[in-house]
Amino acid sequence: MNLLILIFAHLLADYPLQGEFLATMKGKNHIVLISHAGIWTGVIATVAYLIGIDINVFDVALLFIVHAIADYLKAKPVGIYKRLDALKGGLVLDQTIHLVQIVLLLAYKGGF
């Protein structure tokens, strides 16, 4: 159940809580990118804590850094994202990275 709760939190934070402005501007402005990654990280960390997972500063930093880098690469596009359609392969890769973050967090913290 923890995985489903965190996936739902991810979907809320990465879609409606991001909004069009953040989605459009995060590849053009680092403050906007940091804001989006901060919102996503805050939602995931808060929900994880509320379901009983011990979250620390290292967890928060890792969630934030990986999310910010993944979104930056997709938004620019850089690396493999240059060859992927933003709404197909690029979106699949981006979402896979974020979901792997959640799965690894749960595995590392014994949340399964």
Q: Answer for the pair 29, 63: CB distance below 8 angstroms, yes or no.
A: no
Helix (H) or strand (E) holding 41: helix 30-50
Q: Answer for the pair 64, 33: CB distance below 8 angstroms, yes or no.
A: no
3-class state of residue 9 by DSSP: helix
pLDDT of residue 30: 96
The CA distance from 83 to 20, in Å, is 24
* pTM greater than the 0.85 cutoff: yes
Overall average pLDDT of the 49-64 stretch: 98
Which among 2, 79, 1 has a CA at the least distance from the CA of 97?
79
The distance in angstroms from the start CA to the end CA of the chain is 8
What's the mean pLDDT when you consider all of the chain? 95
Overall average pLDDT of the 24-35 stretch: 95
